[in-house]
Amino acid sequence: MGRITRFYQTTVGTSASQIVPYNPNRTALLIRNIAGSTVYVSTDQANIQSAGLQVGAAEYLSFAKSDGDAPELQVYALTDSGTADLRIVETVET
């Protein structure tokens, strides 16, 4: 088995959008907010702001199977206002 690391850019707004689809082969995931606004991230599409994680400007979240996390899950995001630019890095077993 090999590994592939992929890099993505995406923009989110005030409506919930899926930024990472479910992938059972994903072993690590990093989401970085490079915007000036706060972003909320969650695996629950319905309660992103109340049940999700807050990611401030220039902050990031990382999830790794080796740490007991579940990076394979789908991830949704949104902002309070305007739009936010995110960078995503994922590692996938091939």
pTM: 0.93
Give how many domains the chain has, as a whole number: 1
Q: Are 37 and 82 in contact (CB under 8 A)?
A: yes
For the segment 21-46, the average pLDDT, to the nearest whole number, is 95
- Segment 21-35 mean pLDDT: 97
Q: Is residue 46 part of a domain?
A: yes
Work out the average pLDDT over 42-70: 95
65 domain-assigned: yes
Structural domain of 72: 10-87
**Which pLDDT belongs to residue 36?**
86
The pLDDT of 44-53, averaged and rounded, is: 91
Q: Is 52 exposed, middle or buried (0-12, 13-18, 19+ CB in 10 A)?
A: buried
Q: Is the pLDDT of residue 35 over 90?
A: no
